[in-house]
A and B are shown apart, each in its own frame.
Chain A
């Protein structure tokens, strides 16, 4: 998978061109190129075996083709994904590929055909975002639509994820062929303050959650006079359900490295650290390989590109806690202390790692830097909204058909992302809510699908952009239970240093537990509201300051659901088992007995074609009968409701 044969240091623009030339030969070899999406998501779907099977099949047929691993092109729900590019033809994307498909796929390829069974779409051109160059591949096959026309890709503009799924992440040549390291070479030939000015002009704001203007952060760090400074890439990504950063690190590690080197030049840092959570072994491997390659070519180390810049990067594995993604806790954990935050100011830009000025940036933020340095701030600012420029990658997960990573211009509506790209909830269910920002964010009700996704609009609606998690919920989700889930996460991940976060989140969790188990009291809602506001107001770090957003937003938009739990002892979604009673309507029951077969507790009584009855003593309220009944004769109601 790795590539050897790197001959000598890259010292000039000409050397870079040689790198690029070799990369183009790899990307567009004069023979078929097969790329298997082998990021973590692909591997989980079995792409490792697909890669081997295709390799075996190529060998068996003696077909001359290049087979490479690639990152994730975003459509995770359709993995394993394979792309095939033949000279002079459009690139074909295949989805849901199984090992048994290897044979027919390779034989179709041998005959110059498309393997229709798994074909997803065609790509007729490659656009190199960094340079603006376009490479025409060839005409699409007659009976296959364009990939770009799929619902999933139509609203997307892939900048930060420009190379993910396209290049072999272990190849620095292929990265260079996509315009990589060009922006660095140009940057090193110019003035650091000029690049900072471009980044300020671009309007880029940190993608790690807080949305702080990146150009300003760089300017402050650059101005913090000190001979030793650090730049840290934050790849801790602890939000449940979010994996944008993992995908970039696994699919295009050099984009982050290049962003860091440009940063080092602008701010005068000599050392960089990529902090990757330990649960991302593949990302750690990919990044480690990229660093070694860059070092070998002299793109890291002393006197980079003969500019006098000396900079090197190491990988530090995360300390295994959500709070370690918070910048001061992250620094503490690198220094070997417990991962606990400290009060700011002083901000890391003035006093960070080992007490030295330190710039901490998110993975996605850094991946955008080469684009801005290469094409200018104005170009980047041309996308997005006035307060939120550029694009944002979202991890679309939960009850949604096309789960995966989508990158859209800021200002795209929730509806365009969730219902458009995501295809809405599965199984014809109705959208109920969308949670953005993971455990730190809030829930937006389906009625707000037209809300544009930008920093200000989301904050106004009671949630946050966060790092880009987007959890889709349909009618089958109980909002109180959902809030309880996120509070379980927050209470468990609170480091316990400050009172409101430690005691407050635990207290809120106790109340939510009680409500979902039927012990809710009328005064609970006011207590929840007051506690949540104070935890948000008074906590020491961002964890506590955002931890109660799921509670506050559900209280705001789904208050009636809380009231149903408390007053009627009724969970409208039928999720909270203690509140739910299942019954069979004898008028509708045809006595088919499917429910009895499905019931794990033997709680369904009756025989032959007589209507069945549920024994409330034995019923565990799992809802299996409810879901299986072909007649919709089974219904549930609240424990405290009439007729229960």
Chain B
């Protein structure tokens, strides 16, 4: 396997991997916020900065989007890196002074203090939800405006009709500002305000998932007969029973 140098240590990497991936695999911790292993490069938060000493353009680079390569030599804790990271974290904290994950990071890494700017809804604009929705959801989340006015938004700021309710956005949000409320057979996702009816197992009554998504799944991978409309647990039980030669009448 090819090697590169991180903090003076030789670290293996597979071709196509980034410096961040190589570091993690080699047991070297680099803080990161906008990066998500399943969502490709984005490089927006700039927390994962490392300093390139050789083998690339000297200076700081975001390790999450820097391809690992054989002659690359980087450091993760130089004065320049630390200074930049503290300022970046401080700027994010000024935006979202109450975000717990940021406060924890600041405790560990230190952060420069800036005047907090109230009015932000707690979002750090890392774009993970936007990318997750594009990758596995219905691509209904995007960025609007630019500069400091930039925000994550849904089309026309209306509850997005196409939202599947897959909750991928909620899952990837590093600062937990996307909230889901379940209420009488429906879920509502905030701040998008989308409202999705849930589908329930016709055997045990447990929630299977959002109705739209269940409907689409049924269309793509049709399940007919006794196994249709079941939650995974009931389906497995039924499958086992069928294999045993039993004929099942749904209750």
> Which residues of A are found within 8 Å of B147, using beta-carbon distances?
491-496, 502, 505-506
Most buried by B among A343, A491, A538: A538
> Which residues of B are found within 8 Å of A510, using beta-carbon distances?
115
**Residues A499 and B88 in contact in the complex (CB < 8 Å), given A343-B62, A540-B43:** yes
Query: B46, B115, B125, B148: which contacts A538 (Cβ < 8 A)?
Result: B46
Write the chain B residue with the least CB distance to A346. Answer: B67
Contact present for B92 and A499 (CB under 8 Å) = yes
Contact present for B83 and A503 (CB under 8 Å) = no
Contact present for B91 and A499 (CB under 8 Å) = yes
For residue A504, CB closer than 8 A to chain B, the reply is yes
Contact present for B94 and A503 (CB under 8 Å) = yes
A547 to chain B, nearest CB (A): 11
> Which residues of B are found within 8 Å of A492, using beta-carbon distances?
147
Contact present for B88 and A496 (CB under 8 Å) = no
Contact present for A540 and B84 (CB under 8 Å) = no
Write the chain B residue with the least CB distance to A538. Answer: B84
- Count of residues in B whose CB is under 8 Å from the partner chain: 36
A295 to B46, CA, bound (A): 47
A371 to B124, CA, bound (A): 50
> Which residues of B are found within 8 Å of A534, using beta-carbon distances?
83-84, 87-88
Query: B41, B91, B150: which contacts A496 (Cβ < 8 A)?
Result: B150
Write the chain A residue with the least CB distance to B89. Answer: A499
Contact present for B149 and A496 (CB under 8 Å) = yes
Write the chain A residue with the least CB distance to B41. Answer: A343
For residue A619, CB closer than 8 A to chain B, the reply is no
Contact present for B143 and A338 (CB under 8 Å) = yes
Most buried by A among B43, B46, B92, B127: B46
Write the chain A residue with the least CB distance to B45. Answer: A499
Most buried by B among A321, A338, A499: A499
User: For window 32-88 of chain B, which residues contact chain A by CB distance below 8 Å?
Assistant: 41-47, 49, 59-60, 62, 65-67, 80, 83-84, 87-88
Query: A342, A505, A507, A530: which contacts B94 (Cβ < 8 A)?
Result: A507
Contact present for A499 and B46 (CB under 8 Å) = yes
For residue B220, CB closer than 8 A to chain A, the reply is no
> Which residues of B are found within 8 Å of A496, using beta-carbon distances?
125, 143, 145-150
User: For window 464-497 of chain A, which residues contact chain B by CB distance below 8 Å?
Assistant: 491-497
> Which residues of A are found within 8 Å of B47, using beta-carbon distances?
499
> Which residues of B are found within 8 Å of A497, using beta-carbon distances?
44, 125, 127, 143, 150
> Which residues of B are found within 8 Å of A343, using beta-carbon distances?
41-43, 62, 65-66
For residue A345, CB closer than 8 A to chain B, the reply is yes
For residue A498, CB closer than 8 A to chain B, the reply is yes
Contact present for A506 and B43 (CB under 8 Å) = no
A213 to B46, CA, bound (A): 29
**Residues A500 and B125 in contact in the complex (CB < 8 Å), given A495-B146, A530-B83:** no
> Which residues of A are found within 8 Å of B43, using beta-carbon distances?
342-343, 498, 540
> Which residues of B are found within 8 Å of A493, using beta-carbon distances?
146-147
A495 to B149, CA, bound (A): 9
Query: A338, A491, A502: which contacts B125 (Cβ < 8 A)?
Result: A502
B116 to chain A, nearest CB (A): 11
Q: Mark A330-373, 1 if CB is under 8 A from B, else 0.
A: 00000000101011010000000000000000000000000000
For residue A516, CB closer than 8 A to chain B, the reply is no
Contact present for B67 and A537 (CB under 8 Å) = no
For residue B128, CB closer than 8 A to chain A, the reply is no
B209 to chain A, nearest CB (A): 31
**Residues A499 and B44 in contact in the complex (CB < 8 Å), given A537-B59, A537-B80:** yes
CB < 8 Å A-B pair total: 96
B91 to chain A, nearest CB (A): 4
Contact present for B125 and A531 (CB under 8 Å) = no
User: For window 133-187 of chain B, which residues contact chain A by CB distance below 8 Å?
Assistant: 143, 145-150
A246 to B60, CA, bound (A): 35
Query: B67, B95, B143: which contacts A503 (Cβ < 8 A)?
Result: B95
Contact present for A538 and B150 (CB under 8 Å) = no
A503 to B89, CA, bound (A): 11
For residue B112, CB closer than 8 A to chain A, the reply is yes
> Which residues of A are found within 8 Å of B190, using beta-carbon distances?
none
A492 to B95, CA, bound (A): 18
User: For window 579-634 of chain A, which residues contact chain B by CB distance below 8 Å?
Assistant: none
For residue A539, CB closer than 8 A to chain B, the reply is yes
A496 to B114, CA, bound (A): 18
A497 to B143, CA, bound (A): 9
A493 to B148, CA, bound (A): 10
Contact present for A539 and B67 (CB under 8 Å) = no
Contact present for A502 and B87 (CB under 8 Å) = no
B122 to chain A, nearest CB (A): 15
Contact present for A503 and B41 (CB under 8 Å) = no
**Residues A498 and B91 in contact in the complex (CB < 8 Å), given A343-B65, A492-B147, A503-B148:** no
Write the chain B residue with the least CB distance to A533. Answer: B83
A534 to B111, CA, bound (A): 13
> Which residues of B are found within 8 Å of A504, using beta-carbon distances?
87, 91
A35 to B172, CA, bound (A): 64
A492 to chain B, nearest CB (A): 6
> Which residues of A are found within 8 Å of B95, using beta-carbon distances?
503
A502 to chain B, nearest CB (A): 6
**Residues A538 and B44 in contact in the complex (CB < 8 Å), given A500-B88, A530-B87:** no
> Which residues of B are found within 8 Å of A345, using beta-carbon distances?
67
Write the chain A residue with the least CB distance to B43. Answer: A343
Contact present for B84 and A503 (CB under 8 Å) = no
Most buried by A among B44, B80, B149: B44
Contact present for A507 and B149 (CB under 8 Å) = no
> Which residues of B are found within 8 Å of A530, using beta-carbon distances?
83, 87, 112
Write the chain B residue with the least CB distance to A507. Answer: B114
A533 to B83, CA, bound (A): 10
Contact present for A506 and B83 (CB under 8 Å) = no
> Which residues of B are found within 8 Å of A539, using beta-carbon distances?
46
A581 to chain B, nearest CB (A): 29
> Which residues of A are found within 8 Å of B94, using beta-carbon distances?
503, 507
**Residues A498 and B146 in contact in the complex (CB < 8 Å), given A530-B83, A534-B88, A538-B84:** no
B52 to chain A, nearest CB (A): 12
> Which residues of B are found within 8 Å of A495, using beta-carbon distances?
146-147, 150
Contact present for A538 and B146 (CB under 8 Å) = no
> Which residues of B are found within 8 Å of A494, using beta-carbon distances?
146-148
A491 to B149, CA, bound (A): 10
Write the chain A residue with the least CB distance to B59. Answer: A537
A64 to B65, CA, bound (A): 67
A510 to B43, CA, bound (A): 26
A520 to chain B, nearest CB (A): 14
Write the chain A residue with the least CB distance to B126. Answer: A499
Query: A321, A498, A505, A531: which contacts B45 (Cβ < 8 A)?
Result: A498
Write the chain B residue with the least CB distance to A494. Answer: B147
> Which residues of B are found within 8 Å of A537, using beta-carbon distances?
59-60, 80, 84
Write the chain B residue with the least CB distance to A344. Answer: B65
> Which residues of A are found within 8 Å of B125, using beta-carbon distances?
496-497, 499, 502
- Not counting A491-B148, A499-B44, A507-B114, a sample of 6 additional A-B residue pairs whose C-beta atoms are within 8 angstroms of each other reads A345-B67, A493-B146, A495-B150, A496-B149, A497-B143, A503-B95
Residues in chain B within 8 A of chain A (CB atoms): 41-47, 49, 59-60, 62, 65-67, 80, 83-84, 87-88, 91-92, 94-95, 112, 114-115, 124-125, 127, 143, 145-150
10 closest A-B pairs by beta carbon, nearest first, are: A496-B150, A343-B65, A503-B91, A343-B43, A534-B87, A506-B148, A538-B84, A494-B147, A496-B146, A534-B84
Write 26 A-B pairs (CB below 8 A) sorted by A numbering: A343-B41, A345-B67, A491-B147, A494-B148, A495-B146, A495-B147, A496-B143, A496-B148, A497-B143, A498-B44, A498-B45, A500-B46, A500-B91, A502-B147, A503-B92, A503-B148, A504-B91, A505-B147, A507-B91, A507-B94, A510-B115, A530-B83, A537-B59, A538-B84, A540-B44, A540-B46
Residues in chain A within 8 A of chain B (CB atoms): 321, 338, 340, 342-343, 345, 491-500, 502-507, 510, 530-531, 533-534, 537-540
